[in-house]
Structure 1
Amino acid sequence: MSAIIDNKADHRFELEVEGHIATEHYKRDGNVITFEHTDVPKELGGKGVGSKLVQGALDQVRTAGLKVIPQCPFVKAWIEKHADYQDLVAR
């Protein structure tokens, strides 16, 4: 697996694995980033790629001092399972 890239031009985080790209689409408004949709190619399903992508994206969000709106059900569920990331959720 490669590093998670913030492709600002396309408003998505990207993770390349085995020649496929998993993406986390977002929109940003000031210091709040809304994760809208996670897309993991079927070839990568069941390999933990989505979780790695979300964690890496959230780590970058934390470093940037942003807050998150987890509109995407996958991101919302991931944050609920990982208490150490719940402080990133915009209230």
Structure 2
Amino acid sequence: MEQDACIHLNAISELKTATKHVCEECVKLGDVWVHLRTCQECGVTLCCDDSKNKHATAHFHTTSHPVISSAEPNERWLWCYKDEAFVTY
């Protein structure tokens, strides 16, 4: 995964994948989600920005964990919040 402009994407050597395909934070609230994203630093899987609660972005703002991946089947990409960089793999 080579992304010259982003040290955070370049630092990913082994992808973390979703262990459950749910947003635990939405489950706690009794809400639903649109798509799921997995934090590449801690491995938590949360809902995307198309979802009402935007838990993945909230996680970034709380923790500063910069990179997420799609947890959706057949989607193979990473996004860095800090550098607003995107890469497919």
Q: More relative contact order in 1 or in 2 (CA 8 Å, sep 6+)?
A: 2
TM-score when normalising by structure 1: 0.31
* Bigger proportion of residues as strand: 1
* Bigger proportion of residues as helix: 1
TM-score when normalising by structure 2: 0.31
